[in-house]
Amino acid sequence: MQGFTIAETGLFYIWRCLLAYNGLCFYIILYIILLVFIAAKGSKEEKRSFLYPAVIMLLTVYNPIFPLIINRFFDVNKEYYRLFWIAPIVLLPSYMAAKETGAGRRSRGAKCIMFVACTLIFVGMGTFVYKGGYPMQENIYKVPNEVLEVADIIHRSASVKYPTSICDYNLHMELRQYDASILLAADRTQYLESITDTFQDEQTQQENYYVNKLLAVVARGVSIPKEEFLESLDATNTEFVVLHSVSHMVPYLKRAGLTEVGRAGSRTVFHYDLKNPIDYDLVDYSSFE
């Protein structure tokens, strides 16, 4: 889970996980209520289908000791919540609602009322995925138009077949999905560690020395000494820097000697004349075939 670990939270890990997992959705409460109902009034088949596996889950996956034990063998900090997927939290309420609404003995009017009531309960206990507005795609590739435009600007201005760039966070994560002939100076972990200020051991710091310098400027907006920044661009063969045009680091890039080669929507593409540009080429595997 993001923000806390099993080691930090101990026996409370499950509780924190459940809070984060469910957020402002209260379906787990509905699930528990329905399990209690099945325990009291449910048929044999309902008990076998839903109740008994839930008891086993309570003893294992939802048991506060369980993650402590598993974590001794595997690092499950980031992925433990996925075990919650096993509980049929969506299936059980849907089954009960369909059973009650579709019951043959009810009149048409009663079925309609039941249907509306169940729908309102489900809607009221959850959070709509598009509550902040429907995120409409901008083109058939389902990435912002700016990704396409930036890729085009980079290729038009590049001196090599596989130019290297470093971009603001969102663009950095989307650029290679569209165009894998553009290389990126930082990988995802390096980027995330930089923006979340994650501790790096000495060896990692050494390995990431130049990339960290670039990320300090591009991702964290820190004005490091110009020489260090340019040295890092050369060391990582980074020819392009892409930032939001309104970024406060734009004047810094200009002062450092980078030239603007194009704008794509809200972003500006900067070019740096590498001292010794390396024409990156693919490794030839034909001799191994």
∠ Cα 142 147 153 (to 5°): 145
Which of 49, 157, 200, 223 is close enough to bind another protein by CB under 8 A? Answer: 49
Identified binder of another protein from the candidate list 5, 9, 60, 157, rule CB under 8 A: 60
Q: How far is the CB of 213 from another protein (least distance, A)?
A: 16
CB nearer another protein, residue 184 or residue 249: 184
Q: Measuring CA to CA, how many Å separate 102 from each of 54, 178, 201?
A: 25, 47, 60
Residues 83-102 that bind another protein (CB under 8 A): 83-86, 88-91, 93-95, 97-99, 101-102
Ranges within 15-34 binding another protein (CB under 8 A): 20-25, 27
Q: Does 188 bind another protein (CB under 8 A)?
A: yes
Window 133-152: contact mask with another protein (x via CB under 8 A): -xxxxx-xxxxx--------
CB of 63 to another protein, least distance (A): 12
The rounded distance, in Å, linking the Cα atoms of 283 and 288 is: 11
According to the binding rule CB under 8 A, does residue 288 interact with another protein?
yes
3-state DSSP call for residue 132? coil
Does residue 207 bind another protein (CB under 8 A)? no
The residue from 183, 214, 264, 274 that contacts another protein (CB under 8 A) is 183
Provide the token pair at 102: 């579709």
Question: Which residues are CB-contacts of 210 (< 8 A; sequence separation ≥ 6)?
Answer: 231, 232, 235, 236
Q: Which stretch binds another protein (CB under 8 A): 7-15, 150-158, 213-221, 277-285?
A: 277-285
Give the whole-angstrom CA distance, residue 246 versus residue 232: 24
Q: Is 122 in the site for another protein (CB under 8 A)?
A: yes
Q: How many residues bind another protein (CB under 8 A)?
A: 86
Residues 89, 1: Cα–Cα separation, whole Å: 20
CB 49 → another protein: shortest distance, Å? 6
Taking CB under 8 A as the criterion, the residue among 6, 151, 184, 233 binding another protein is 184
**Token pair of 85 as six digits:** 């997927």
Q: Is 128 in the site for another protein (CB under 8 A)?
A: yes
Q: Which stretch binds another protein (CB under 8 A): 8-16, 111-119, 242-250, 270-278?
A: 111-119
Contacts 24+ apart (CB under 8 A), 177-180: 177/143, 177/147, 178/141, 178/143, 178/147, 178/148, 178/151, 179/151, 179/155
Contact 149, 265 (CB under 8 A): yes
Give the tokens for residue 131.
């509550």
